[in-house]
Amino acid sequence: MKKYTFTEKKDTRSGFGAGLSELGKSNPNVVALCADLTGSLKMDAFAKDHPERFFQIGIAEANMIGIAAGLTIGGKIPFTGTFANFSTGRVYDQIRQSVAYSGKNVKICASHAGLTLGEDGATHQILEDLGLMKMLPGMVVINPCDFNQTKAATIAIASHEGPVYLRFGRPTVPNFTPADQKFEIGKAVMLNEGTDVTIFATGHLVWKAIEAGEQLAAQGISAEIINIHTIKPLDNTAVINSAKKTRCVVTAEEHQMNGGLGDSIAQLLARELPTPIEMVAVNDSFGESGTPDQLMTKYGLDAVNIVEAVNKVLKRK
Amino acid sequence: MASTAELERIVSQVRRDIVRQVHAVNSGHPGGSLGCAEYFVSLYFEIMKHNPSNFTMDGKNEDLFFLSNGHISPVFYSVLARSGYFPVAELATFRKLNSRLQGHPTTHEGLPGVRVASGSLGQGMSVAIGAALAKKLNKDTSIVYTLHGDGELQEGQIWEAAMYASAKKVDNLISTVDMNGQQIDGSTDQVLPMGSLRAKFEAFGWDVMDLEKGNEMGSVVATLKKAKEHTGKGKPVMILMKTEMGNGVDFMMGSHKWHGVAPNDEQLAQALNQNAETLGDY
Ligand SMILES: Cc1ncc(C[n+]2csc(CCOP(=O)(O)OP(=O)(O)O)c2C)c(N)n1
Ligand SMILES: [Mg+2]
C-alpha cells in the first residue's frame, strides 16, 4: 500500500475560496455571486479584491441562479456560492431551465454538502445533490477530496465551457494531494494499484478509503484505490479497466446510495462488465444533528465500513 | 422611423402568423400572444437597437429582449422572423418535430433571437438583470428589456429580482407586465388578486409607468420611448401595460378562455378575415 501523508488538515471550502481568489487575479471574466453566505463559502477574499465583480444577491437563491445565467450573456464566467442544499434542490427548476437547458456557462459552487455539515442537522445536510445534478443533460459534476484538489478544480472549471456543479464541504480533512496537481475534469486519479478489489471513492470518503486500504493491507488484501473526483462525465475507461483486473468493487461517498457515485458505477458495470459491487453510502435516510465524526460513524461512512464492504464483496467474487 | 400606420400593418400580419401557427398544430397560446402584438412590433421595429441579420448570443452594444412568459412564443417567433432573425417560412415548423421553434422558446436548437429558455414562469427578470449587469461591466450602454405576464407575477422569484434590481440600481432595465387581467384558471382577480401593482413596484423601488392603451400602437411606442428616457437614472423602469387578451380577434377577446386553445378551421377563417394579409403569409 502506497504511503500517503499530510502536514495539515484543511477544509475543502477554503480550497474553493483560494481557487476563486486566484481566478480573480488571472481571469477578468470571472465574477462571483453569493446569497448571504460569503464567509461560509470563503468568498470574502474575492469580494474584497474585486468588489465590482462580486454580487451580493441576498437570501434569494433562485434569483442568484437566474442572474448568473444572464451574466454569461456578455461573456462573464459566473461562480455562484451557497450551501449545497440551496444550490441544488432549492433552485432545481432555475438550474434546469435557465442554466442547463439554456447551455449557460455557470459554475454552481456548493459548500456544506453531506452529513459533515454537522450540528445544523438534516434540513441543511443534503445527500441528494449529486443525483439531482448528474441527471441534468450537459451538467458536469465534481466532488474533490481535499483542499488542494478543490482549489485545482475551482481553477480548472473556469476554462471548461458549460455548466458545472462543484461540491465541497465544511470540515477539515487531510490535505494530501499535491499542491501543484493538474486537475483534469473527468479523469480518475489512481491512488494505489492493487489486485484483489477496487475501491472507488469521492470527496471526503477518499481519505477514508486510504485508511481502509492500510487496514486491508494489514489483513493481506491488496486494494486498488481510485479517486473519482468527477462523477459526471465518469471516467468509464478507468472504472472498467480496474474492475477487469480486480473483479470486485466497493464504492464510497457521502451521499444517498440512490443517485450517487455508486449508482453511476453500478450502471456502467451492469452494462459493460457485470461485477460484484458493494456501496458505502447513506441508505435512504435523512441525517441529523451531531458532530461530523459522530455522524459519519452512525451512518456507516467510516474506514471500517469500507473494510467491511470489501470483505463482503470479496466473498461474492 | 416607421409611421404608426406602417407598424399597424405589421401587427395585422403578426396576428395572422399567431393564429396560423397555433391552428396548424392545434396547440399553443394565442390569447396572450395577440394581446402583446403591438408591444412586440414597437420593440422590434421601432424601439430596440439590434442586429437581426447577425445574431450573436452576447449581443454586444445591442439592446436585448427577454421573454419571461415563454408561452406567448407565437408572437415572439412571428416578430423575430418578420424582423429578419430567421426565414419567415420557418414559422410553419412551430411545435413540430425537429423544429427550432419549440413550444416554448429555447436556445437549445440555436434559434437566432433567443438568449435563454423560458416557459417555467418567473425566471426571466433574474436572467435579464444578469445580462444588464454584464452590460455595465462591459461599459455597454444599451438597454435590456423583459416582458412578463400579470399572472406570472405570482411567482416569488419575480419579487426577489425586483428587490435586487432597485437595490443595486440596475437602471439599464425596462420591464413590462402584460396586464391582461387573465391567467389559466380565470381572471387574475379570481385566481389571486394582486392589488395595486403600481404601489407594489413603487414600494420595491422601481420607476413605474402606466400604459393604459397597450393595444394602441401610438401609445405603446410613445410609452416605450419615454421609458428609454427614464433609464440611467438609478432605478429600473417598469411599464404596466393594459392589454386585452386575444386582441384583434373578436371572439377571443374578453375572457381567459383563449389563453392556450387553438382555433378550429372555421374560427381560423374568421380570425384571418379580421386581419388583413399585409406582408404575405408564410
Ligand atoms: C412555474 C410555472 N407554473 C405554472 C405554469 C403553467 N402556466 C403557463 S401560462 C400560465 C398562466 C400565466 O398567466 P399570465 O402570466 O397572466 O399569462 P397570460 O395567460 O395572460 O398569457 C400558467 C399557470 C408555468 N408555465 N410555469
Ligand atoms: Mg395574464
Give the HSE-up count for residue B231: Cα atoms under 13 Å, Cβ half-sphere. 19
Q: How many Cβ atoms sit within 10 Å of the Cβ of residue B229? A: 9
Residue with cell 481535499: A146
Asked whether residue A55 carries a pLDDT value surpassing 90, the answer given is yes
Q: Whose CA is nearest to atom 23 of ligand 1?
A: B184
Percentage above 70 pLDDT, chain B: 100
- Examine the pLDDT at B254 and tell me if it is beyond 90: no
Mean pLDDT of A288-292: 96
The catalytic position among A8, A22, A61, A211 is: A61
Across the interface, do B160 and A67 touch by the CB < 8 Å criterion? no
Residue B225: predicted pLDDT: 98
CA distance from start to end of chain B: 25
Kindly state the average pLDDT of the residues A235-244: 98
Span B96-123, average pLDDT:
97
Helix and strand numbers, DSSP H then E, in chain B:
10, 5
Residue B49, judged by CB atoms within 10 A of its CB (0-12, 13-18, 19+), counts as exposed
**Which distant-in-sequence residues (6+ apart) come within 8 Å of A100 by Cβ?**
A136, A137, A138, A139, A163
**CB of B123 within 8 Å of any CB in chain A?**
yes
- Separation of CA B153 and ligand 1 centre (Å): 10
Kindly state the cell numbers that stand for A158.
473556469
User: For the segment B239-250, what is each residue's pLDDT rounded down to a tens digit?
Assistant: 999 999 999 999
Residue B95's pLDDT band, with cuts at 50, 70 and 90, is very high
Q: Do B130 and A60 touch (CB under 8 A)?
A: no
- Tell me the per-residue pLDDT of B133-171, one tens digit each, with 9 for 90 and over: 999 999 999 999 999 999 999 999 999 999 999 999 999
Is residue B87 reached through a cis peptide bond, with omega within 30 degrees of 0 on the bond before it? no
Three-class SS of A250-284: EEEEEEECCCCHHHHHHHHHHHHCCCCEEEEEECC
Residue A5 backbone phi and psi in degrees, to 5: -130, 165
Beta strand spans in B156-236 (E): 173-179, 207-211
Nearest listed ligand to the Cα of residue B124: 1
- Please tell me the distance from the alpha carbon of residue B186 to that of residue B40, in angstroms, as a whole number: 25
B205 at interface of A, judged by CB pairs closer than 8 A? no
- What integer best gives the mean pLDDT of chain B? 98
CA dihedral over A164, A169, A174, A180, signed as positive or negative: positive
pLDDT beyond 90 at B69: yes
> CA–CA separation, B45 vs A298, rounded Å?
65
Q: How far is Cα A143 from Cα B282, in angstroms, rounded to an integer? A: 51
Judge whether residue B1 has pLDDT over 90. Answer: no
Q: What percent of chain A has pLDDT over 70?
A: 100
Mean pLDDT of A16-34: 98
pLDDT for A147 beyond 90: yes
Any catalytic annotation for residue A61? yes
First to last CA, chain A: 22
What stretches of chain A adopt beta strand conformation (E)?
9-11, 30-34, 54-56, 77-83, 107-111, 140-142, 164-167, 172-174, 189-192, 197-201, 223-227, 230-232, 249-256, 277-282
Nearest ligand to the C-alpha of residue B31? 1
Q: What does the mean pLDDT of chain A come to?
A: 98
Residue B189 in grid coordinates: 382577480
Q: What is the pLDDT of residue A153?
A: 98
For residues B76-83, give the mean pLDDT: 98
Ordered by where they begin, the domains of chain A are 9-174 (3.40.50.970), 189-314 (3.40.50.920)
Cβ atoms A185, A156 nearer than 8 A: yes
Residues whose beta carbon lies within 6 Å of some atom of ligand 1 = B 31-32, 69, 71-72, 119-122, 149-152, 178, 180, 182-184, 245, 259
CA distance A179 to A3: 17
Give pLDDT tens digits for A174-211: 999 999 999 999 999 999 999 999 999 999 999 999 99
Nearest to B161 among A63, A75, A103 (CB): A63
Give the pairing of strands A277-282 and B144-149.
Answer: unpaired
HEC string of A161-182 equals CCCEEEECCCCEEECCCCCCCC
Residues in B touching A68 (Cβ below 8 Å) = 130
Residue B89 pLDDT exceeds 90: yes
Distance of CA B47 to the CA centre of its chain: 13
Q: How far, in Å, is the centroid of ligand 1 from the Cα of A125?
A: 33
Q: Mean pLDDT over residues A26-44, rounded?
A: 98
Best of B133, B136, B146, B168 to mutate (most A CBs within 10 Å, chain A):
B133
How confident is the model over B187-221, as pLDDT tens digits? 999 999 999 999 999 999 999 999 999 999 999 99
Cα–Cα distance between B190 and B180 in angstroms, integer?
13
Rounded CA gap, B276 and B89, in Å? 18
CB B179 within 8 A of CB B214: yes
pLDDT recorded at residue A2? 96
Q: What is the DSSP letter of B246?
A: T
Of A255, A283, A288, whose CA–CA distance to A118 is shortest? A288
Q: What is the value of pTM for the model shown?
A: 0.96
Domains and CATH numbers, chain B: 4-273 (3.40.50.970)
Q: How confident is the model at residue A16 (pLDDT cuts 50, 70, 90)?
A: very high
Rounded-to-integer distance, Cα B4 and Cα B19, Å: 23
